[in-house]
Amino acid sequence: MLPWTGINELSITNVPRLVIGAPHGRSGKTTFTLGLLRAFARQGMAVQPFKKGPDYIDASWHTVAANCTCRNLDSFFMGKQEICSSVSKQALGKTITIIEGAMGLYDGLDMKGSSSTAEIAKVTRTPVLLVVDATRMTRSIAAMVMGYQHFDPEVNIVGVVLNKVARRPRHAKMAREAIEEFCKIPVVGAIPKDVNLTIPDRHLGLVTSGEMQETDSFLEYLADVICEHVDLDKILTLAQAAPELPQYEATQGTNIPKYSVKNRTLSPKIGFIQDASFSFYYPENIEALKNMGADVVPINALLDSNLPRDLDGLYIGGGFPEVFAAALEENRTLRGEIRQAGENGLPIYAECGGLMYLGRSIITPSKNFEMVGLLPLDTQMESKPQGHGYTIMEANPDQTWFDELSEIKGHEFHNSRVINLAPHVKFGLKVKRGHGIDGQHDGICYKNVFASYNHIHALGCPAWAERMVKLAANYNQTKWTKIEKVAGQ
């Protein structure tokens, strides 16, 4: 047993689980994880996937592979209690929980490894299965694995998967024997080099699962490879040996009461655009709105000609509107309805791709595409990231979405930049870390619209959902008041 010390905690139900880590990015941990999830799922197991870090795309692949909604774990904007509570809640009734890491195992924001995969492993007391790129190495792999074992004694590496192994048997045999002899942990798989074990990239990472043709066939192929070259029974045994999940000191949550007008209980209707162009949503954000009493309804900006009737709020997440800009432009009726709704005071919260959509146009190297036109700006696509990484924002006075001067932790990933911005624009956020819209500001405020490059997670910013539902409920009340006044005349 490892010396998990200095933590004020109470043990809760044991959760069979593993963290999938690697010495560095591009080691193959994502394709391995996807194959592992699908291999377990098709054996009839209930598998709960998690992705470390603010990653929408890998998480979407996990969801399809496991047939279970993937969740994100991130210690930058989540506390220890929120992380462990999420694992405990989602793992309930599951056979195994798999947490895929990001980058190298110990890579974080600073010399302490803050927000690293290793930190998630320590916070959750989860054993680590290390995926190692074995290209051009045999005995040296043992030295590398041993270094990862001893770098932080609180990280429990319990097994190794060799990836990109040469087809000749000698390569895998030498590497396996060296690791098991010197590191005293098992090698549970040796996956051969295979050019087909690759998901196409885009500027923000992998393409989304919904965009890749024959996604299911690809996942089945990955599972076939895992079943042939990996010991699934051994991996399940390692997961079942995980210690009890800790429970840290609870933080006080906030609840919002349901609003009522003249004894009529309100469930404000909030739409969220979810389609191939806008797919970046944390499930916890949607759940938070529902838990606060909202009726949340999906909208397809590519296919739906009209907004839902009696809408009280609109949430537009991130995605790749530039890829689907022609189809978004073609849907003129919906764009017009969104513009008019915003002008009429409908609360609209937009993140990144949503910000781009609400502007006048998206400018790509090939063409300019007309968008909603609610905000006085255009966005131009660039070849390099304009904002990438964790953010810290401070809420400005005189905006209605966040408490004044409150600190908001989030993240941004965008290759677009705002141009032709009207000089009179009011910003809701001051950038303390990150880039935002211009390096100093983010969160354009217009009437009841708030549009920023910053993405937030409801577990790290619970007040966001409460405020959105409150604004939607107030809009609902105002709408009914107007109707009743007209009816009484």
pLDDT digits (tens, 9 = 90+) for 316-350: 999 999 999 999 999 999 999 999 999 999 999 99
Q: Quick: pLDDT tens for 198-218.
A: 765 544 344 555 555 678 888
- In this prediction, residue 73 carries a pLDDT of 98
C-alpha angle 420-426-427 in degrees, rounded to nearest 5: 95
Alpha-carbon separation of residue 328 from 93, 121, 211, 369, 372 (angstroms): 41, 41, 16, 8, 9
This prediction has a pTM of: 0.91
| Catalytic, out of 70, 84, 352, 445 | 352
Q: What is the token pair recorded at 379?
A: 């966005």
CA 157, 163, 167, 171 torsion: positive or negative?
negative
Report the distance separating Cα 159 and Cα 182, nearest Å: 13
Assign residue 153 a region: left if phi > 0, alpha if psi is -120 to 50, beta otherwise?
Answer: alpha
DSSP state of 211: T
Give the three-class secondary structure for 17. Answer: strand
Q: What is the token pair recorded at 372?
A: 């909603």
Instruction: Provide φ and ψ at 347, rounded to 5°.
Output: -65, 125
Contact 324, 294 (CB under 8 A): no
Q: Quick: pLDDT tens for 170-206.
A: 999 999 999 999 999 999 999 999 867 776 554 434 4
Q: Quick: pLDDT tens for 257-293.
A: 444 433 345 799 999 999 999 999 999 999 999 999 9
Which ranges of 344-388 does DSSP label H, i.e. alpha helix?
Answer: 353-358
Fold of 266-482: Rossmann fold (3.40.50)
Q: Does 477 score more than 70 pLDDT? A: yes
Contact 181, 151 (CB under 8 A): no
Instruction: Specify whether 352 is catalytic.
Output: yes
Report the distance separating Cα 17 and Cα 86, nearest Å: 13
Smallest CA-to-CA distance from 41 within 186, 222, 208 is with 222
Q: How would residue 168 be classed by pLDDT, with cut points 50, 70 and 90?
A: confident
- In this prediction, residue 249 carries a pLDDT of 79
Q: What is the token pair recorded at 210?
A: 């919904």
Report the distance separating Cα 407 and Cα 390, nearest Å: 13
Question: In one letter, which amino acid is 224?
Answer: D
Q: What is the token pair recorded at 417?
A: 């930049």
- Looking at the domain covering 11-247, what would its CATH class be? alpha beta
Q: How would residue 1 be classed by pLDDT, with cut points 50, 70 and 90?
A: very low
Q: What is the token pair recorded at 411?
A: 């993240």
C-alpha angle 278-280-286 in degrees, rounded to nearest 5: 100
| All structural domains of the chain with their residue ranges | 11-247, 266-482
Report the distance separating Cα 373 and Cα 355, nearest Å: 11
11-247 and 266-482: identical CATH topology: yes
What length does the chain have?
Answer: 489
Question: What is the longest distance spanned by two Cα atoms in the chain?
Answer: 89
Looking at residues 246-250, what average pLDDT do you find?
81
Beta-sheet strands, E only, within 111-267: 128-133, 157-165, 187-192, 201-202, 205-206, 246-248, 260-261, 264-265
Q: Does 35 score more than 60 pLDDT? A: yes
